[in-house]
Amino acid sequence: MVYFSFVPKVYLFIIICLINFVKVAVVQFTASTNKEVNLKKILSYISKAASKNATVCAFPEFMMFYTNSSQTSKQLSDLSEMIKGNFVTTIAKAAKENKIQVIGSFYEKSRIKDRVYDTAFVIDKSGKVISTYRKIHLYDALGFRESDKMISGSKISKPVQTSIGKIGMMICYDLRFPEMSRSLAVAGSEVLVAPSAWVKGHMKEEHWIAINKTRAIENGCYVVAPDQVGNIYCGRSLVVDPYGKVLLDMKKRQGISFVNIDLNKVKQIRKILPLLKNRRTDVYSTLKA
């Protein structure tokens, strides 16, 4: 503290508070059907995020490319890649060059013929993939059937430690299942990140906002939800704080936005509103159908 003896108390308070903030970059864009075109955009966004001193750059689901209803499961499978393929490897290289963490998703090849995984990844600033998660809840609802082209993951990935706290990964439709976010929170997640491509439609934006706020409130954590915009998707990429306050809503705008999150707020909220501690897991299982 002696080093700050010349600073007025009010400015000292501001400096101390800012030390606890980390800057998150959220990207919202319209993916084309050409993955090379999309990759070029992605690399540009990573560079821009780093130039603004963001700690992490988060992208939406299906950032690799947009697949329309006419694309067959074989065509999708042929375009998919392994985790060590060109798409993720190129992004990892950009993360290392720009010294920034990157969160996104891609179509991952599977051993099942003409089926792919919808896989999210976390890359650290050294360019290492430190976590992957394969989407568990496929969007077989409201006239859509992702299971016609995809295969679901079989487990929830453990939260991973990053410079923006302990991250729990989800993907889009997973947000509608509170059991998953609660499991991640109980396992230590301070931030839930959900790359998404939320299909627009009747009441869909209302559901999107309500669900993201609810996941944050009930778990006392941040929710970072980058979303696709354009094509059939609604946009409205969000960042919600642990008390349910919307810190960022990108509406219908393509581009990159920045928001500061305070890691101490998770501890503060969970102390004054100890929902995780107040659970009665001893009685929940006594209710029979």
The neighbouring-strand residues paired with 134 are 119
Can you spell out the DSSP letters for 167-205?
A: EEE--GGGGG-HHHHHHHHHTT-SEEE--B--B--TTHH
Q: Are 196 and 167 in contact (CB under 8 A)?
A: no
Instruction: Round to whole Å and give the CA distance between 53 and 236.
Output: 23
Give the relative orientation of helices 86-98 and 35-51 as an angle to the nearest 10 degrees.
10
Q: Is 61 a catalytic residue?
A: yes
Q: Catalytic pick from 172, 190, 213, 234?
A: 172
Q: Is 135 a catalytic residue?
A: yes
Please choose, from the candidates 209, 239, 249, the residue with its C-alpha nearest in 3D space to the C-alpha of residue 54.
239
Instruction: Round to whole Å and give the CA distance between 167 and 125.
Output: 15
Q: Are 181 and 205 in contact (CB under 8 A)?
A: no
Q: Catalytic pick from 35, 61, 213, 221?
A: 61
Four-residue CA torsion sign, 275, 287, 141, 65? positive
Q: Is 11 exposed, middle or buried (0-12, 13-18, 19+ CB in 10 A)?
A: exposed
Instruction: Round to whole Å and give the CA distance between 67 and 149.
Output: 10
Q: Is 17 a catalytic residue?
A: no
Q: Catalytic pick from 81, 108, 125, 135?
A: 135
> Which residues does the annotation mark as catalytic?
61, 135, 172
